[in-house]
Chains A and B, each alone.
Chain A
């Protein structure tokens, strides 16, 4: 994989300032706009707590070793150093029961999606409801996608605030 970051195109007029990821997606402005609406919707749905989603996003980034994604801190769910260390190690026992349900799914989504069991999905439905389970599993898939895009495009780590704008 190249060590040279892909140069993002300047953001198109009319779109909010954003990250390098948005800058690259801006080569297809209509696609960027829809990506943004969809991704924001996952965070703002209210079906799954933002902290739970943030734990899963960060754990997914650790699984991929995606530094550009790890550089982000969600402004509405900042994670302290101990929490980040637990996520880095994949140690889930300190988290709330519903968070563990989500994190165990996050653990498998990138490279072991066939290993996800009926029981795990049923636990997600019990913890978050059916709309929450749909939201959570969709979010996990897109956290995975986002890490892959940043790695494949070799996007540089950038100031956290620029990227955090994507999450709120």
Chain B
């Protein structure tokens, strides 16, 4: 996997991260961030459990981000 960004940021003079790259499609990604925030902020599963599974998933998929 590449160690350099494959898509440049949508905004000048900022690092290429998930937010700045996906900002190329800002309207639809706003829906993604709404969905992701809803997942984290509410529900019956404890945040600690969600975080454990998120970290485990990152290990399994070898996602250093």
Report A's interface with B, CB cutoff 8 A.
28, 30-31, 34-35, 37-38, 41-42, 45, 47, 113-114, 116-118, 121-122, 125, 129-131, 133-135, 138
Contacts and interface: CB of A to CB of B under 8 A. Distances in A.
Contacts of B1: 114, 116
**Majority secondary structure, A binding face:** helix
Interface string B1-42: 110101110100000000001101101110110110011001
A135 to B, nearest CB: 5
Given A114-B1, A117-B2, 4 more contacts: A34-B38, A38-B35, A41-B31, A45-B25
Contacts of B38: 30-31, 34
A37 B38 CA distance: 13
A38 B24 contact: no
- Residue from B6, B21, B42, B61 whose CB has the most chain A CB atoms within 10 Å: B6
B36 to A, nearest CB: 9
Contacts, number: 65
Contact of B28 (A38, A122, A130): A38
Q: Is the interface of B mostly helix, strand, loop or mixed?
A: helix
A130 B31 contact: no
B29 A118 contact: no
Interface centre among A37, A38, A47, A113 (most CB of B within 10 A): A38
A107 B57 CA distance: 21
22 contacts: A28-B42, A30-B38, A30-B42, A31-B38, A31-B42, A34-B31, A35-B35, A37-B31, A38-B28, A41-B31, A42-B28, A45-B28, A116-B1, A117-B2, A118-B4, A121-B6, A130-B7, A131-B24, A131-B25, A133-B7, A133-B24, A134-B22
B24 A134 contact: yes
B31 A38 contact: yes
Contacts of A118: 2, 4, 6
